[in-house]
A and B are shown apart, each in its own frame.
Chain A
Amino acid sequence: MLLLVVFVLTACAYVFGRTRAATLRKNGESLHSLPRYYGYLTAIYTAVPALFILAFWSAAEPTYLKHSTTNTLPAEIRALPEGELNLVINDIKNIATGGITQNTDDAVRESSAQHYADRKNTSQLLKSIFVVLASLLGALYGLSKISVHTRARIFVERTIMTVLIACSCIAIFTTVGIVLSVLFESLRFFNKVPFTEFAFGLHWSPQTSIRADQVGSSGSFGAVPIFAGTLLISAIAMLVAVPFGLMSAIYLAEYASSNVRAWAKPLLEILAGIPTVVYGFFAALTIAPMLRNVGESVGLSVASESALAAGLVMGIMIIPFVSSLSDDVITAVPQAMRDGSLGLGATKSETIKRVVIPAALPGIVGAILLAVSRAIGETMIVVMAAGLTANLTINPLEAVTTVTVQIVTLLTGDQAFDSPKTLAAFALGLMLFITTLILNVIALRVVRKYREQYE
């Protein structure tokens, strides 16, 4: 409601500002900018301070109300521990807003609720007054600024830039926040389990006893088997994705006629649009049994949840990723390179092999590294198809587990958020994050370093 008022005021300010600037202009004043910029200027002065006040007030209000209400409570309630006190306050809030509570007949709470409601009303009223006042004052100030000396266009441009910077900062701060939260939880984990055990231990069995008298494993947190599983599955996936993706990219970029390209490329990209869950049950229900049957017929024992099945399907999922990026890179190789090679009497495939691919190689390597980090971070397929057993093996026919699968299993269901078991998930997440980060950095470096070679 208040927001709406501010918006209306802002709109009015814009119209007033523009009209006023236009009038000045008509009277022969040589204004710095076009009238509409003076309109924007007035609008900015109207909206920004008012919105800031609104935001701060709304943020501070609950704290103030809580504090003020707590002071009206008798000392013995105030002396209660933090958690119980919060419950009381919640009760009071509920009474004040007419909600259902258990202790409606409690006189103390009733009076506090009355107090709370009063304060809240006052606060709301003051907030409205201040916001509207700020916006009006801003409008007046803005209008008074409309003169020959104000360079409105520059002011507006700066404001737009500030807004854009603020928006990009949100993404950055979120990333920083995620990193920090994962980092601190991981540090808590490493307080309980030594880093050396985590990084070099060969046994992963994160079950810990919840009660002291419980019989159960004390938990061991050697992350090597699950990282090995991740690597195994990623390697299988890349073995599938790189040749197929690259070759289809070469076909699309060099051989396909524009007609074929027009439908083949979107078709390939549809592969990328299939949800990973769908790939997951395709792997678990179709590929894995098929592999087991084939394995039985040639006398191999294939686990029903094998690394091979998960890796194959993950590879298929990544094909469009590799092919689309490589296709872009190959197409970006200048035609002059191809002409030069063909003009020397090279065949088409010789040209591709000796000139186009080498010229596009940095980009292709970048594409592959990005695909690897995608494979390492992939979760759904491996959850459904790769199994949970932390085997330390390089046999693709056995079941293995991956980092992402372990994170999912550690954090799903009811968990205590301070046991090593759950904290281990954060440590795994941190390691995974670092791994993909390093890969991405290398990929970007490689791409950047060689990008200008043929320009």
Chain B
Amino acid sequence: MNEEVTPLPSLEQDQTSEQTIEEIVASLGETVGEPRVDDPKMSVSNVNVFYAEKQAIFGVDLDIANNEVISMIGPSGCGKSTLLRCLNRMNDTIPICKVTGELMLDGEDIYGKDTDPVLLRARVGMVFQKPNPFPKSIYENVAYGPRLHGLNRNKADLDDIVVNSLKKAGIYNEVKNRLDESGTSLSGGQQQRLCIARTIACSPEVILMDEPCSALDPIATAKIEELIDELRENYAIAIVTHSMQQAARVSQRTAYFHLGKLVEVGDTDTIFTNPSHELTENYITGRFG
């Protein structure tokens, strides 16, 4: 390691040093790289997030494009999951959480007065870290969303939606003979693909994935990654991951977060082969995080 490098700001440090977290964040400088894309699906501008008094996200600008996977990486506690949960207002369920700034979906402010978070979440679906199928049958799990939103006119419609969603999630062949078995009886990887099918069934426009493979074994992970790549054709996808290999494999753009600040964003290839910011380089070469 280069001896002349000044000590990097890290989570451990901000507890011992005199610097406040705000000062450290200020020292990180401006975001490196281009956060904007042409014709963004979702657009985040100058977003700050607070948990009670503690600020978790500092002035983030970021676009999410159609037909593209953007991965968010960074050390634990860097705010990537928090930002993801802002994108479909899941943070509304946490009473102490406050969001400022502008978050747009197709040019509409999703925190605006006219936006219904319930409808928003149907358009911006979410897959969680731990597979969380409902303790209902596989069929009911997938039919849950369409039933809520009245997407089907009759039973045959619903059957179609369920089958298609399961097919898109690449799990249909494994479960087609036991659609009435409990969703919790599946293996972890199957459960996660069931959760993806459940999300697709609501016909969302954006899919958010919060570390979707962190609870899965390598084979199940490979299947999900393959699936994410296929889903890119129809959806805008944002994925939070701790695995840099995964980010490199599935995403076209990568955003690196540190202590709630977007440090660097750009093409995945560029970020992984030729990062511009020192922190990004240190992180992807495994010096910390």
Are A257 and B195 in contact, CB atoms less than 8 angstroms apart?
A: no
- Chain A residues contacting B283 (CB-CB under 8 Å) are none
Are A339 and B90 in contact, CB atoms less than 8 angstroms apart?
A: yes
Are B132 and A345 in contact, CB atoms less than 8 angstroms apart?
A: no
- Cα-based distance from A358 to B130 in the complex (angstroms): 20
Within 8 A of A (CB), among B198-254: 198-199, 202
Are B198 and A334 in contact, CB atoms less than 8 angstroms apart?
A: no
The one of B121, B136, B184 that contacts A344, using a Cβ cutoff of 8 Å = B121
Smallest beta-carbon distance B116→chain A, Å: 9
In this complex, how many residues of chain A approach chain B with their Cβ under 8 Å: the count is: 21
Stretch in A185-193, A195-203, A347-355 with 4+ CB within 8 Å of B:
A347-355
- Chain B residues contacting A162 (CB-CB under 8 Å) are none
**Cβ-closest chain A residue relative to B122:** A345
The one of B125, B128, B133, B199 that contacts A339, using a Cβ cutoff of 8 Å = B128
- Cα-based distance from A362 to B118 in the complex (angstroms): 28
**A345-B134 contact in complex given A338-B93, A340-B195, A454-B184, C-beta closer than 8 Å:** no
- Chain B residues contacting A220 (CB-CB under 8 Å) are none
Q: Is the interface of A mostly helix, strand, loop or mixed?
A: helix
Contact with A along B121-148 (1 / 0, CB 8 A): 1110110101011111000000011001
- Chain B residues contacting A334 (CB-CB under 8 Å) are 132
- Chain A residues contacting B130 (CB-CB under 8 Å) are 336
Are A343 and B134 in contact, CB atoms less than 8 angstroms apart?
A: no
**A345-B119 contact in complex given A340-B128, A454-B184, C-beta closer than 8 Å:** yes
Are B93 and A342 in contact, CB atoms less than 8 angstroms apart?
A: yes
The one of B93, B118, B128, B199 that contacts A347, using a Cβ cutoff of 8 Å = B118
Are B135 and A453 in contact, CB atoms less than 8 angstroms apart?
A: yes
- Chain A residues contacting B125 (CB-CB under 8 Å) are 343-344
A44 at the binding interface (Cβ < 8 Å):
no
Contact with A along B143-182 (1 / 0, CB 8 A): 0110011000000000000000000000000000000001
Smallest beta-carbon distance A340→chain B, Å: 4
Are A453 and B182 in contact, CB atoms less than 8 angstroms apart?
A: yes
**A346-B148 contact in complex given A257-B95, A340-B128, A340-B195, C-beta closer than 8 Å:** yes
**Cβ-closest chain B residue relative to A345:** B122
The one of A342, A347, A453 that contacts B184, using a Cβ cutoff of 8 Å = A453
The one of A257, A337, A345 that contacts B118, using a Cβ cutoff of 8 Å = A345
Smallest beta-carbon distance B237→chain A, Å: 15
**Which of B121, B123, B199 counts the most chain A CB atoms within 10 A?**
B121
Are A340 and B132 in contact, CB atoms less than 8 angstroms apart?
A: yes
Smallest beta-carbon distance B56→chain A, Å: 18
Are B95 and A358 in contact, CB atoms less than 8 angstroms apart?
A: no
- Chain B residues contacting A257 (CB-CB under 8 Å) are 95
A6 at the binding interface (Cβ < 8 Å):
no
- Chain A residues contacting B195 (CB-CB under 8 Å) are 340
Are A342 and B202 in contact, CB atoms less than 8 angstroms apart?
A: no
Are A454 and B135 in contact, CB atoms less than 8 angstroms apart?
A: yes
- Chain A residues contacting B93 (CB-CB under 8 Å) are 338-339, 342
- Cα-based distance from A453 to B185 in the complex (angstroms): 9
The one of A343, A346, A350, A453 that contacts B90, using a Cβ cutoff of 8 Å = A343
Are B90 and A344 in contact, CB atoms less than 8 angstroms apart?
A: no
- Cα-based distance from A342 to B148 in the complex (angstroms): 11
- Cα-based distance from A409 to B251 in the complex (angstroms): 80
- Cα-based distance from A102 to B115 in the complex (angstroms): 98
**A340-B118 contact in complex given A345-B148, A345-B149, A454-B184, C-beta closer than 8 Å:** no
Contact with B along A134-149 (1 / 0, CB 8 A): 0000000000000000
Are B126 and A343 in contact, CB atoms less than 8 angstroms apart?
A: yes
Within 8 A of A (CB), among B85-122: 88, 90, 93, 95, 118-122
- Chain A residues contacting B198 (CB-CB under 8 Å) are 340, 344
**Cβ-closest chain A residue relative to B92:** A342
**Cβ-closest chain B residue relative to A354:** B144
A341 at the binding interface (Cβ < 8 Å):
yes
**Cβ-closest chain A residue relative to B195:** A340
Are A337 and B132 in contact, CB atoms less than 8 angstroms apart?
A: yes
- Cα-based distance from A29 to B164 in the complex (angstroms): 76
Are A344 and B122 in contact, CB atoms less than 8 angstroms apart?
A: yes
- Cα-based distance from A345 to B130 in the complex (angstroms): 19
Are A359 and B134 in contact, CB atoms less than 8 angstroms apart?
A: yes
Are A343 and B184 in contact, CB atoms less than 8 angstroms apart?
A: no
**Cβ-closest chain B residue relative to A454:** B135
The one of A339, A344, A347 that contacts B145, using a Cβ cutoff of 8 Å = A344
**Which of A337, A345, A347 counts the most chain B CB atoms within 10 A?**
A345
**Cβ-closest chain B residue relative to A453:** B135
- Cα-based distance from A161 to B6 in the complex (angstroms): 61
Are B149 and A337 in contact, CB atoms less than 8 angstroms apart?
A: no
- Chain A residues contacting B135 (CB-CB under 8 Å) are 337, 358-359, 453-454
- Chain B residues contacting A350 (CB-CB under 8 Å) are 148
- Chain B residues contacting A454 (CB-CB under 8 Å) are 135, 184
**Cβ-closest chain B residue relative to A455:** B184
- Cα-based distance from A340 to B191 in the complex (angstroms): 12
Are B134 and A342 in contact, CB atoms less than 8 angstroms apart?
A: no
- Chain A residues contacting B132 (CB-CB under 8 Å) are 334, 336-337, 339-340
**A355-B90 contact in complex given A339-B128, A345-B149, A350-B148, C-beta closer than 8 Å:** no
Are A345 and B202 in contact, CB atoms less than 8 angstroms apart?
A: yes
Are A336 and B90 in contact, CB atoms less than 8 angstroms apart?
A: no
Smallest beta-carbon distance B201→chain A, Å: 8
Complex A-B: 19 CB contacts under 8 Å: A257-B95, A336-B128, A337-B135, A339-B93, A340-B132, A340-B134, A340-B195, A342-B121, A343-B90, A343-B128, A343-B199, A344-B125, A344-B148, A345-B121, A346-B144, A358-B135, A359-B134, A453-B182, A454-B135
**Extra A-B contacts (9), CB below 8 Å, given A339-B132, A343-B125:** A336-B130, A337-B135, A342-B93, A344-B144, A344-B198, A344-B202, A345-B120, A354-B144, A358-B136
Q: Mark A residues whose CB is within 8 Å of B.
A: 257, 334, 336-347, 350, 354-355, 358-359, 453-454
Q: Which 10 A-B pairs have the closest CB atoms?
A: A345-B122, A336-B132, A343-B126, A345-B121, A344-B145, A453-B135, A340-B132, A454-B135, A347-B118, A359-B135
